[in-house]
Every structure is written in structure tokens, then in C-alpha cells.
Amino acid sequence: MRTAKAVLFLLAAAVVIGGVWLAFQNSGRSGESKAQAAAPAHLNARELRFSADSPQLSYIKAEPVEALPEPLLDPLSARIAYDENHTARISSPIAGRVTRILAQPGDRVAARQQLLQIDAPDFASAAADVAKSDADLQLKQKAFARSRELYDAQVIARKDFDTAQSELQQSEAEHKRATVRLRNLDPGAGEAHGNYVLRASIAGIVTERSVNPGSEVRPDAPNPLFVITDPAHLWVIVDLPERSLGALRAGQGVDVEVDAYPNRRFPARVAAVGEVLDPATRRVQVRCVLDNPERLLKPEMYARVTPLADTRAKLPRIPNSALLTVGLYSFVFVEKEPRLFERRQVTLGLQGRSESYVKQGLADGERVVTAGALLLNSELAGVE
């Protein structure tokens, strides 16, 4: 019995050991086959081709490059602002209390359109002064006409005629003063009982309103009651470092980029370069004019401005993550066809903090590896 049990135990142990050995052999073959499948084919010292199931492909990202105008400098910090040539900041020329608001932010208004009504006693006083001076002027005109007739008939002395003429001139001056004052307050905007209507001075969009019903308004208020602008016209204010002052001039073209539209560049033009350097920041303000027909850009947005050397010369732009530097030379990997990559030497133009422009070695529309270039370079190591 003991001999039979020992034999059975030995047979069972042999079966287990054999199964483990076979499993180990199969796993080794599987690993070898996977390694062989993962290894790329080296077509030559510059090209690699991967199989469709290569795991390395999940770490490689290729994107087409776009040719853009060659810049002079790295993008400069800037902000978008109102175009003051197409903007009106409207305040009340008279003190009073707001009784009705007739325009809201976002409304499009025409020139001379009503914005709000103000209960303004001073406006009623100005209108009354005009009416009073007009009545006095008519009376003095009649008195002067009678004096002329009497003087011509030698009924009154020259002194009395001169007095009537002087009183007429004084009345005319007072009437002119009252009329001009009322015209300055916009006489067509109010009513006789004292309501004054503030009107838009230009056509555009109401972008800001800093008044509420019942608010007291006065001419010396620090902030305007309404801001009206044409959003199709904007300024871009650039803070230009002192060292780059010679790179920009009036009339030069620039490209504007904002985070809200990462794949778009908005053309603009330098309108003026500041004459005074800020002693604290060592920067000078540069004002650019920008057309905004789609109204995508908004005042107070942060922007990046790239000065252009020549708007007609375009170079492929690539992210710096696609660059490989070996000694004095720069290389990129180009995806010539699916899963086929070529290492290519390129000549760079401007190399910025995050992007570079390629003068030679790359064409517009070619697909460049932007992630995984180091992995591809390591695969080529040892082949050269």
C-alpha cells in the first residue's frame, strides 16, 4: 500500500512539474512574438515603419503643419480695448433725477436716439430764460421801431433814440446767451415742464450703463452714464519691451491671437508707437487697429501679438515639442504615410518659447510628430 501511494504521489508531482514547464515555454514564446511584433522595421538610417498592432503608436502623435507669415519676434503681451475713434462715453450735462431708462446694455442704438429721461429743473429754467428773453427782445424791437419813427420826425432827441438802440442790443445779446445755453443742453431733447432726454451721440452698441431709475446725475460725475461703441472696430494695446523697440513701426502688420479661439489669427495693423517709455516696466505702449466684423473679440480680452516681417512670406510653424537637437543641427520626424516615419533635418527661422518657424526642410501640410519624437529617435539609435 505504501509503495502504491508513493508511486501515485510521484506521478502527480511529475504531471504538475510538466504543466508548469510547458506554461513557462509557451509564455516565453508569446513574449518573443510580441517583442518581434512590437519592434519596428528599420528601412534605412532615417526611416521607421511600425506594424498596425505596435504599442508604440499609442505614444506617437502627428499633426499637419500650417504655413504662416514669418514673425519678427516672439508673441507680445497685449489687451484688446475700445477703439476710441468709434466710442462715445455719454454723461449728463445737467443735474437731475432719472425718471426713465430707455436703453439697455447690448441694445443697438442710432445717433440721436433717446437713452434716458431726467427730471431736471435747471433745464426748465433754461427754457424759461429763452422764452423770457424772446419776449423781451420783441418788446425792445417794437420800442426801437417807434423811437426811430419819432426821431425821424424830430419828435425825440438823439439821446432817447440811442438809449432805445442800446436796450435793443442788450436784449439781443441776452436772447442769444439763453438760446446758446439751451442749445448746449440739447433743446430738442426735453419738454417744457422740465423733463430732459439724454440722447446717443453716435450709432453703435450700448456696452456699459452705470445708472439706475431714480439715480441722481450731475455733470461732474466721474463715470459716464452710457458707453456706446462700434464693436466692429477695436484697438489692441501692446506693451513692447525696450529691447524690441526697433522691431515695430507704424503701418506694420501683426497677427493677434486669443485663448478663446486658439486656432485663429486675426490680422491687425500698427497705428502708433508710443513716444514715452514707462520707467517702472521699461516698456512702451503700441496701439494697433483691428477690424472685428464677426464681433468675436471683446474689449479687455488678453491677447498675444506677433509682429510680422513680411506678410507675403509664409513659413511652416511647429511646436517646440517636435524638435530634436543634435549638436548644431535640428531634426523633426515626418509621417510620410500611416505608420511610416522619417527623421529629417530642418533649418529654423525664429525659435520662440513654445513654437518655431522652419525655413528649410519642411513643407506646408506635411504631418510632423509633435509627441513621441524622442521615442522614435531612440528606435533609430544604433542603426546609424
- Structurally, how many domains does the chain consist of? 4
pLDDT at 9: 54
Local confidence band at 312 (pLDDT 50, 70, 90 cut-offs): low
The CATH number covering residue 137 comes to: 1.10.287.470
Residue 126 has a CB neighbour count (10 Å cut-off) of: 21
Domain boundary among 187, 212, 242: 187
Say whether both 217 and 110 belong to one domain. yes
Local confidence band at 334 (pLDDT 50, 70, 90 cut-offs): very high
Residue 34 has pLDDT above 50, yes or no: no
Q: What DSSP string runs through 239-304?
A: EEEGGGGGG--TT-EEEEE-TTSTT--EEEEEEEE-SS-BTTTTEEEEEEEEE-TT----TT-EEE
In whole angstroms, give the CA distance from residue 299 to residue 126: 39
Residue 103 has pLDDT above 70, yes or no: yes
In whole angstroms, give the CA distance from residue 293 to residue 116: 29
Whether 225 is in a domain gets the answer yes
Whether 32 is in a domain gets the answer no
Whether 209 is in a domain gets the answer yes
**Does residue 327 sit in helix, strand or coil?**
coil
Say whether both 220 and 238 belong to one domain. no
Residue 208 has pLDDT above 70, yes or no: yes
Which comes out higher in pLDDT, residue 23 or 137? 137
Say whether both 217 and 340 belong to one domain. no
pLDDT at 42: 65
Look up the domain containing 213 and give its range. 94-120+194-229
Write the pLDDT tens digit of every residue in 131-158: 778 888 888 888 888 888 887 888 788 8
Which comes out higher in pLDDT, residue 38 or 102? 102
Whether 24 is in a domain gets the answer no
Residue 188 has pLDDT above 60, yes or no: no
Look up the pTM and report it.
Answer: 0.62
pLDDT at 192: 41
Residue in the structure block whose three cell numbers are 515695430: 248
Say whether both 107 and 209 belong to one domain. yes
In whole angstroms, give the CA distance from residue 117 to residue 189: 9
Whether 144 is in a domain gets the answer yes
pLDDT at 204: 95
